[in-house]
């Protein structure tokens, strides 16, 4: 069986940045299993896997527009330090969960702190990055009716 839309696919992968730093890997755990074609993976990786078979390996570079997008300057904002009431010391690199405009929780990272102003970044941590994946396809099967109804692999 080949990878097509609505196939359940299991892969092992290693994700590195352009500097070769390992950002994520499934090699020391169970393979990642997902329902192909439903947005469970970044678009560029799903496209690279289309039509592949069990045992295939591939190395692929995914550009930002096929991954987490470019850095969006509108998602970098200066907010008053008072917005962090109850936090003992706000420092660069800290991450917080906050309510987004659509009511969904959103992760923000503190970029800098200056007197009474904190600069935060709500971009995905990998926005703007070229991502390198080394992938091995471990298994492919047809999705069950329940998986198709739910839109993800079980």
Q: Based on the domain organization, do 51 and 26 belong to the same domain?
A: yes
Q: Residue 100: which domain range? A: 73-121
CATH number where 99 lies: 2.40.10.330
C-alpha to C-alpha distances, 125 to 49, 122, 134, nearest whole angstrom: 24, 8, 20
pLDDT of residue 98: 86
pLDDT tens-place string over residues 9-53: 999 999 999 999 999 999 999 999 999 999 999 999 999 999 999
Q: What is the pTM of this model?
A: 0.85
pLDDT tens-place string over residues 98-144: 877 777 888 999 999 998 999 999 999 999 999 999 999 999 999 99
Q: Based on the domain organization, do 30 and 102 belong to the same domain?
A: no
For residue 117, is it within any domain? yes
Pairing type for strands 57-62 and 32-35 reads unpaired
Q: Based on the domain organization, do 64 and 139 belong to the same domain?
A: yes
> What are the residues whose beta carbons fall under 8 Å from the beta carbon of 129, sequence distance 6 or more?
17, 18, 64, 67, 68
CATH number where 31 lies: 3.10.50.40
What confidence category does residue 5 fall into, taking pLDDT thresholds of 50, 70 and 90?
very high
For residue 1, is it within any domain? no
Structural domain tally of the chain? 2
């Amino acid at each position: 069986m080949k990878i097509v839309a609505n196939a359940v696919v299991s892969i092992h992968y290693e994700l590195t940045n352009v500097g070769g730093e390992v950002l994520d890997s499934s090699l020391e755990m169970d393979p990642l299993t997902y329902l192909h074609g439903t947005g469970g993976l970044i678009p560029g990786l799903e496209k690279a896997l289309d039509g592949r078979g069990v045992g295939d390996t591939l190395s692929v570079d995914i550009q930002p527009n096929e991954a987490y997008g470019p850095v969006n300057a509108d998602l970098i904002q200066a907010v008053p330090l008072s917005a962090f009431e109850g936090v003992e010391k706000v420092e660069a690199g800290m991450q917080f969960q906050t309510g987004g405009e659509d009511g969904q929780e959103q992760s923000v990272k503190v970029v800098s702190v200056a007197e009474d102003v904190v600069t935060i970044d709500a971009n995905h941590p990998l926005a703007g990055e070229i991502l390198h994946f080394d992938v091995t396809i471990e298994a492919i099967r047809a999705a069950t009716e329940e998986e198709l109804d739910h839109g993800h692999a079980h």
